[in-house]
Amino acid sequence: MKYVVVGGAGFIGSNLVDKLIENENEVVIIDNFSTGKKSNLNPKASVLELDMSIIPNYDKIVNCMKGADTVFMLAAKARVQPSIENPLEYEINNTIGTLNILKCASDAKVRRFVYSASSSAYGDSKVMPLVETMRINPLSPYGAQKYYGEVMCSVFSHIYNIETVCLRYFNVYGERQNLDGAYALVIGIFASQLLSGKPMTIRGDGEQRRDFTYVGDVVNANVLASTSKNVGNGEVINIGNGDNRSINQIADMLGGSRVYIDPVIEPKETLADNSLAKKLLGWEPKQVIENWIPGYKKDIGL
Protein backbone atom coordinates (compact mmCIF):
# COMPACT_ATOMS: atom_id res chain seq x y z
CA MET A 1 0.00 0.00 0.00
CA LYS A 2 1.15 3.55 -0.71
CA TYR A 3 0.98 6.23 1.98
CA VAL A 4 1.93 9.92 2.08
CA VAL A 5 3.16 11.39 5.37
CA VAL A 6 3.16 15.19 5.39
CA GLY A 7 5.68 16.21 8.04
CA GLY A 8 7.40 12.83 7.83
CA ALA A 9 10.76 14.22 8.96
CA GLY A 10 9.33 15.48 12.22
CA PHE A 11 9.09 13.92 15.65
CA ILE A 12 5.78 12.07 15.31
CA GLY A 13 5.85 11.85 11.51
CA SER A 14 9.20 10.08 11.32
CA ASN A 15 8.09 7.50 13.87
CA LEU A 16 4.95 6.90 11.80
CA VAL A 17 7.03 6.53 8.60
CA ASP A 18 9.17 3.90 10.29
CA LYS A 19 6.10 1.90 11.33
CA LEU A 20 4.54 2.05 7.86
CA ILE A 21 7.79 0.90 6.22
CA GLU A 22 8.21 -1.81 8.85
CA ASN A 23 4.82 -3.06 7.67
CA GLU A 24 6.21 -3.20 4.09
CA ASN A 25 4.37 -0.20 2.65
CA GLU A 26 5.51 2.39 0.12
CA VAL A 27 5.89 5.78 1.81
CA VAL A 28 6.31 9.28 0.40
CA ILE A 29 7.36 12.05 2.77
CA ILE A 30 6.47 15.70 2.16
CA ASP A 31 8.47 18.08 4.36
CA ASN A 32 10.11 21.48 4.09
CA PHE A 33 12.55 20.70 6.94
CA SER A 34 11.74 23.91 8.80
CA THR A 35 11.33 21.82 11.94
CA GLY A 36 11.79 18.27 10.66
CA LYS A 37 15.29 16.82 10.51
CA LYS A 38 16.95 15.01 7.63
CA SER A 39 18.57 12.74 10.20
CA ASN A 40 15.05 11.45 10.99
CA LEU A 41 14.43 10.28 7.43
CA ASN A 42 13.94 6.60 6.73
CA PRO A 43 16.18 5.73 3.74
CA LYS A 44 13.44 3.51 2.29
CA ALA A 45 10.99 6.43 1.95
CA SER A 46 10.74 8.80 -1.02
CA VAL A 47 11.06 12.49 -0.14
CA LEU A 48 9.46 15.57 -1.69
CA GLU A 49 11.01 18.68 -0.17
CA LEU A 50 8.70 21.68 -0.45
CA ASP A 51 6.51 24.11 1.48
CA MET A 52 2.93 22.85 1.73
CA SER A 53 1.51 26.37 2.22
CA ILE A 54 2.76 27.70 -1.15
CA ILE A 55 -0.05 27.28 -3.69
CA PRO A 56 2.24 26.94 -6.77
CA ASN A 57 3.49 23.66 -5.24
CA TYR A 58 -0.02 22.23 -5.71
CA ASP A 59 0.69 20.19 -8.87
CA LYS A 60 3.83 18.60 -7.41
CA ILE A 61 1.92 17.58 -4.28
CA VAL A 62 -1.02 16.13 -6.24
CA ASN A 63 1.32 14.12 -8.46
CA CYS A 64 3.13 12.55 -5.51
CA MET A 65 -0.19 11.66 -3.86
CA LYS A 66 -1.64 9.82 -6.84
CA GLY A 67 -2.18 6.16 -6.06
CA ALA A 68 -1.94 6.69 -2.30
CA ASP A 69 -4.48 5.06 -0.02
CA THR A 70 -4.08 7.52 2.88
CA VAL A 71 -2.49 10.89 3.53
CA PHE A 72 -1.33 11.46 7.11
CA MET A 73 -1.25 15.18 7.86
CA LEU A 74 1.28 15.78 10.64
CA ALA A 75 3.00 18.95 9.42
CA ALA A 76 2.40 22.09 11.46
CA LYS A 77 4.19 24.79 13.32
CA ALA A 78 3.58 23.54 16.84
CA ARG A 79 3.24 24.89 20.36
CA VAL A 80 1.09 27.54 21.91
CA GLN A 81 3.53 30.26 23.00
CA PRO A 82 5.37 30.70 19.65
CA SER A 83 1.98 30.98 17.92
CA ILE A 84 1.09 33.87 20.22
CA GLU A 85 4.35 35.59 19.31
CA ASN A 86 4.05 34.89 15.54
CA PRO A 87 0.35 34.51 14.72
CA LEU A 88 0.60 35.42 11.02
CA GLU A 89 3.45 33.00 10.33
CA TYR A 90 1.50 30.25 12.09
CA GLU A 91 -1.71 31.10 10.26
CA ILE A 92 -0.12 30.80 6.83
CA ASN A 93 1.53 27.49 7.64
CA ASN A 94 -1.13 25.79 9.75
CA THR A 95 -4.30 27.05 8.11
CA ILE A 96 -3.41 27.60 4.44
CA GLY A 97 -1.03 24.64 4.49
CA THR A 98 -3.66 22.25 5.85
CA LEU A 99 -6.27 23.46 3.38
CA ASN A 100 -3.85 23.07 0.47
CA ILE A 101 -2.95 19.50 1.49
CA LEU A 102 -6.62 18.59 1.91
CA LYS A 103 -7.44 19.89 -1.59
CA CYS A 104 -4.44 18.07 -3.08
CA ALA A 105 -5.47 14.80 -1.44
CA SER A 106 -9.02 15.21 -2.69
CA ASP A 107 -7.92 15.96 -6.26
CA ALA A 108 -5.47 13.03 -6.19
CA LYS A 109 -8.41 10.74 -5.31
CA VAL A 110 -6.84 9.61 -2.05
CA ARG A 111 -9.25 7.41 -0.08
CA ARG A 112 -8.60 8.72 3.45
CA PHE A 113 -7.04 11.73 5.16
CA VAL A 114 -5.86 11.37 8.78
CA TYR A 115 -5.40 14.78 10.41
CA SER A 116 -3.25 15.46 13.46
CA ALA A 117 -5.38 17.74 15.61
CA SER A 118 -4.61 19.04 19.10
CA SER A 119 -6.07 19.00 22.59
CA SER A 120 -5.27 22.74 22.68
CA ALA A 121 -8.64 23.22 20.95
CA TYR A 122 -10.32 22.65 24.31
CA GLY A 123 -8.65 25.60 25.98
CA ASP A 124 -8.89 25.83 29.77
CA SER A 125 -11.72 23.67 31.04
CA LYS A 126 -12.61 23.15 34.68
CA VAL A 127 -14.38 19.91 33.80
CA MET A 128 -12.26 16.80 33.46
CA PRO A 129 -11.80 14.51 31.62
CA LEU A 130 -12.05 16.26 28.27
CA VAL A 131 -14.65 14.70 25.96
CA GLU A 132 -14.91 15.33 22.21
CA THR A 133 -18.44 16.75 22.57
CA MET A 134 -17.30 19.55 24.91
CA ARG A 135 -17.31 23.21 23.90
CA ILE A 136 -14.25 24.33 21.93
CA ASN A 137 -12.41 27.30 23.46
CA PRO A 138 -8.82 27.65 22.15
CA LEU A 139 -6.57 30.08 24.04
CA SER A 140 -4.04 30.63 21.25
CA PRO A 141 -3.72 31.03 17.49
CA TYR A 142 -2.25 27.51 17.38
CA GLY A 143 -5.29 26.00 19.12
CA ALA A 144 -7.67 27.87 16.83
CA GLN A 145 -5.74 26.86 13.71
CA LYS A 146 -5.71 23.18 14.65
CA TYR A 147 -9.45 23.34 15.30
CA TYR A 148 -10.01 24.96 11.89
CA GLY A 149 -8.30 21.93 10.37
CA GLU A 150 -10.92 19.71 12.00
CA VAL A 151 -13.71 21.85 10.57
CA MET A 152 -12.24 21.66 7.08
CA CYS A 153 -11.83 17.88 7.31
CA SER A 154 -15.56 17.58 8.00
CA VAL A 155 -16.34 19.97 5.14
CA PHE A 156 -14.17 18.01 2.69
CA SER A 157 -15.78 14.71 3.67
CA HIS A 158 -19.23 16.09 2.99
CA ILE A 159 -18.46 18.11 -0.14
CA TYR A 160 -15.47 16.49 -1.84
CA ASN A 161 -16.12 12.84 -0.97
CA ILE A 162 -12.81 12.12 0.77
CA GLU A 163 -12.81 10.14 4.00
CA THR A 164 -11.35 12.12 6.91
CA VAL A 165 -10.68 11.54 10.60
CA CYS A 166 -9.13 13.91 13.15
CA LEU A 167 -6.94 12.78 16.06
CA ARG A 168 -6.63 15.21 18.98
CA TYR A 169 -3.22 14.54 20.49
CA PHE A 170 -2.45 15.13 24.16
CA ASN A 171 1.16 16.12 24.97
CA VAL A 172 3.12 13.63 22.93
CA TYR A 173 6.55 12.51 24.17
CA GLY A 174 9.03 9.88 23.07
CA GLU A 175 11.98 9.06 20.84
CA ARG A 176 13.16 11.93 18.59
CA GLN A 177 11.36 14.62 20.59
CA ASN A 178 13.12 17.97 20.27
CA LEU A 179 15.51 18.93 23.06
CA ASP A 180 15.76 22.59 22.13
CA GLY A 181 14.36 25.33 19.94
CA ALA A 182 10.90 26.85 19.72
CA TYR A 183 9.22 23.49 19.19
CA ALA A 184 10.64 21.61 22.18
CA LEU A 185 8.11 20.42 24.75
CA VAL A 186 8.56 20.24 28.50
CA ILE A 187 10.37 16.88 28.75
CA GLY A 188 12.79 17.85 25.98
CA ILE A 189 13.36 21.30 27.49
CA PHE A 190 14.08 19.83 30.91
CA ALA A 191 16.43 17.23 29.42
CA SER A 192 18.33 19.88 27.46
CA GLN A 193 18.70 22.08 30.53
CA LEU A 194 19.96 19.21 32.67
CA LEU A 195 22.45 18.10 30.00
CA SER A 196 23.79 21.68 29.94
CA GLY A 197 24.18 21.74 33.73
CA LYS A 198 21.32 24.18 34.18
CA PRO A 199 18.30 23.94 36.46
CA MET A 200 14.90 23.01 34.99
CA THR A 201 12.75 26.11 34.50
CA ILE A 202 9.15 25.63 35.61
CA ARG A 203 6.41 28.10 34.74
CA GLY A 204 4.22 29.19 37.65
CA ASP A 205 3.94 26.77 40.56
CA GLY A 206 4.45 23.63 38.48
CA GLU A 207 1.15 22.13 39.57
CA GLN A 208 -0.36 22.40 36.08
CA ARG A 209 -1.17 18.86 34.92
CA ARG A 210 -0.83 17.30 31.49
CA ASP A 211 -1.94 14.03 29.90
CA PHE A 212 1.37 12.70 28.52
CA THR A 213 0.97 10.31 25.57
CA TYR A 214 3.74 8.13 24.14
CA VAL A 215 4.66 8.63 20.48
CA GLY A 216 4.46 4.91 19.73
CA ASP A 217 0.86 4.90 20.94
CA VAL A 218 0.12 7.93 18.75
CA VAL A 219 1.64 6.12 15.75
CA ASN A 220 -0.61 3.13 16.40
CA ALA A 221 -3.63 5.44 16.57
CA ASN A 222 -2.75 6.83 13.13
CA VAL A 223 -2.41 3.37 11.61
CA LEU A 224 -5.74 2.28 13.07
CA ALA A 225 -7.39 5.52 11.90
CA SER A 226 -6.32 4.76 8.34
CA THR A 227 -7.97 1.33 8.35
CA SER A 228 -10.97 1.52 10.69
CA LYS A 229 -14.35 1.07 9.03
CA ASN A 230 -15.97 3.07 11.84
CA VAL A 231 -14.60 6.46 10.75
CA GLY A 232 -14.28 8.59 7.62
CA ASN A 233 -16.76 11.44 8.08
CA GLY A 234 -14.57 13.95 9.90
CA GLU A 235 -14.81 12.29 13.31
CA VAL A 236 -12.79 13.94 16.08
CA ILE A 237 -11.11 11.49 18.47
CA ASN A 238 -9.01 12.12 21.58
CA ILE A 239 -5.64 10.37 21.57
CA GLY A 240 -4.47 10.65 25.16
CA ASN A 241 -3.29 8.34 27.90
CA GLY A 242 -6.33 8.96 30.09
CA ASP A 243 -4.23 10.00 33.10
CA ASN A 244 -2.09 13.03 33.89
CA ARG A 245 0.98 14.25 35.78
CA SER A 246 2.00 17.63 37.14
CA ILE A 247 5.03 19.41 35.73
CA ASN A 248 6.61 19.06 39.17
CA GLN A 249 6.15 15.29 38.95
CA ILE A 250 7.91 15.24 35.57
CA ALA A 251 10.79 17.21 37.09
CA ASP A 252 10.94 14.70 39.95
CA MET A 253 11.18 11.81 37.47
CA LEU A 254 14.06 13.44 35.61
CA GLY A 255 15.82 14.60 38.79
CA GLY A 256 17.93 17.70 39.27
CA SER A 257 17.57 21.27 40.44
CA ARG A 258 14.75 23.55 39.32
CA VAL A 259 13.78 27.22 39.32
CA TYR A 260 10.29 28.68 39.09
CA ILE A 261 9.67 31.51 36.64
CA ASP A 262 6.69 33.62 35.58
CA PRO A 263 3.60 31.74 34.41
CA VAL A 264 2.16 32.02 30.91
CA ILE A 265 -1.36 31.69 29.54
CA GLU A 266 -2.06 27.97 29.47
CA PRO A 267 -4.66 25.46 30.66
CA LYS A 268 -4.35 24.39 34.27
CA GLU A 269 -5.03 20.78 33.37
CA THR A 270 -5.54 18.41 30.46
CA LEU A 271 -6.92 14.90 30.76
CA ALA A 272 -8.32 12.86 27.87
CA ASP A 273 -11.41 10.74 27.87
CA ASN A 274 -10.16 8.15 25.37
CA SER A 275 -13.24 5.94 25.31
CA LEU A 276 -14.18 7.05 21.78
CA ALA A 277 -10.75 5.98 20.49
CA LYS A 278 -11.30 2.57 22.04
CA LYS A 279 -14.78 2.33 20.52
CA LEU A 280 -14.09 3.59 16.98
CA LEU A 281 -10.46 2.59 16.48
CA GLY A 282 -9.93 -0.27 18.91
CA TRP A 283 -7.05 1.82 20.31
CA GLU A 284 -5.69 2.08 23.80
CA PRO A 285 -2.35 3.35 25.12
CA LYS A 286 0.33 0.86 26.10
CA GLN A 287 3.05 3.07 27.62
CA VAL A 288 3.18 5.08 30.86
CA ILE A 289 5.68 7.83 31.36
CA GLU A 290 7.15 6.51 34.63
CA ASN A 291 8.25 3.36 32.82
CA TRP A 292 9.69 5.25 29.84
CA ILE A 293 11.76 8.00 31.48
CA PRO A 294 14.48 5.79 33.10
CA GLY A 295 15.45 4.36 29.71
CA TYR A 296 15.30 7.82 28.13
CA LYS A 297 17.65 9.23 30.77
CA LYS A 298 20.12 6.43 30.10
CA ASP A 299 19.92 6.91 26.33
CA ILE A 300 20.70 10.64 26.46
CA GLY A 301 23.31 10.38 29.21
CA LEU A 302 21.49 11.84 32.20
Bridge partners of 169? 118, 239
Query: How far apart are alpha carbons 196 and 286 in whole angstroms?
Result: 32
Mode of pairing for the β-strands spanning 258-261 and 213-214: unpaired
Concatenate the DSSP letters of all residues of 34-75 into one string.
Answer: SSS-GGG--TTSEEEE--TT-GGGHHHHHHHHTT-SEEEE--
Strands, E, within the chain: which ranges? Answer: 2-6, 26-31, 46-49, 70-73, 112-118, 163-169, 172-173, 200-203, 209-210, 213-214, 233-239, 245-246, 258-261
Residue type for position 67: G
Asked if 111 and 225 count as a contact pair (C-beta separation under 8 A), the reply is: no
CA torsion sign, 15 to 17 to 21 to 23?
positive
Radius of gyration of the chain (CA): 18
SS3 (DSSP) at 174: coil
Query: How far apart are alpha carbons 28 and 62 in whole angstroms?
Result: 12
First-to-last alpha carbon distance for the chain, in angstroms, is 40
Residue type for position 79: R
Q: Which of the residues are catalytic?
A: 142
